[in-house]
A = this chain, B = another copy of it.
């Protein structure tokens, strides 16, 4: 293939502008101590020759790599991709992350890592050694994995923990799951619901717990009981079916259910259908995530929107500025919103009108 070299290097620019390599380097990196006219001349040469620095060379000489690494759980991500259920978590990450990176001349690299694996550390160390990223974004369940966080802290690489509020190294960031759950619960209470069931996520996701907290707190505030109204699922469709069945087969069944994921919500919808319960007349339903499918179910689902793109965008910004500005010591909160659709109504309401 013949070794491919950089077509235009800093040398060409230096020669063209009649200055030293160093001066060109200074202009590229916006460093001080360059006379405006000098800077202008160099910039002209850069533009003329279409010069772009090689990130490999930049990284080699000990500076930044201009790379931000985003890490997702391998197993779950691949399962989502293969099942083609419309989960667009990755897309929203890329949307927020890539655009913000581009603004600052960075690139985002997306990688998969096994959490449930004794050689997470090897895998991660390899990715770091190969890529030398300037910052890393951790998503659940990585965000709370001490094997990962301690490794990054030790390697002194700035990182963000999405969906984590635990104190410790790295920037803790949350989409305010508790607040979102409160929003959803209050919405149902305002509609007149008294028995509101909750289908929670698995215990290894911290966010699952916060959502329960928000629901329970709001119920308590309203003087409503939560006894026997909370079931656990694993975020998947089947687990939603099982949980919904347990909730709806009670003698005094709930008139509304909040599911901690869209998949579990569609599972609940399925159970309601099989029990001849009309949604929303007999059962109001709120789901979490607001992935594409909530628009296409019958009825469409009222859902909590998780601001994934906005959160990742913020994370990138903080990571790029790590070192310049101080890192936030408190968890960074990007709040979600409730999107009302056709699956919620007053209890016993007939028809849509």
List 20 interface pairs A-B (beta carbons < 8 Å), by A numbering.
A1-B158, A7-B129, A8-B129, A52-B126, A53-B129, A54-B60, A55-B130, A56-B59, A56-B65, A78-B99, A81-B88, A84-B88, A84-B290, A86-B86, A88-B88, A90-B90, A94-B110, A107-B130, A107-B131, A298-B298
Digit string of A268-283 for contact with B (CB within 8 Å is 1, else 0)?
0000000000000000
Please tell me the number of chain A residues within 8 Å of chain B, measured between CB atoms.
Answer: 65
- A292–B3 alpha-carbon span in the complex (Å): 43
The verdict on A33 contacting chain B, using a C-beta distance below 8 Å, is no
B132 touches A291 (CB 8 A): no
A65 contacts across to B, CB distance below 8 A: 56
The verdict on A122 contacting chain B, using a C-beta distance below 8 Å, is yes
The verdict on A22 contacting chain B, using a C-beta distance below 8 Å, is no
A292 contacts across to B, CB distance below 8 A: 84-86, 292-293
A95 contacts across to B, CB distance below 8 A: 78, 81-82
- A297–B292 alpha-carbon span in the complex (Å): 12
- A88–B132 alpha-carbon span in the complex (Å): 29
- A55–B69 alpha-carbon span in the complex (Å): 15
Known: A6-B129, A85-B292, A86-B86. 13 other contacts (CB 8 A): A4-B156, A7-B129, A52-B130, A55-B56, A56-B56, A60-B60, A78-B99, A81-B94, A84-B291, A84-B295, A94-B110, A98-B111, A110-B110
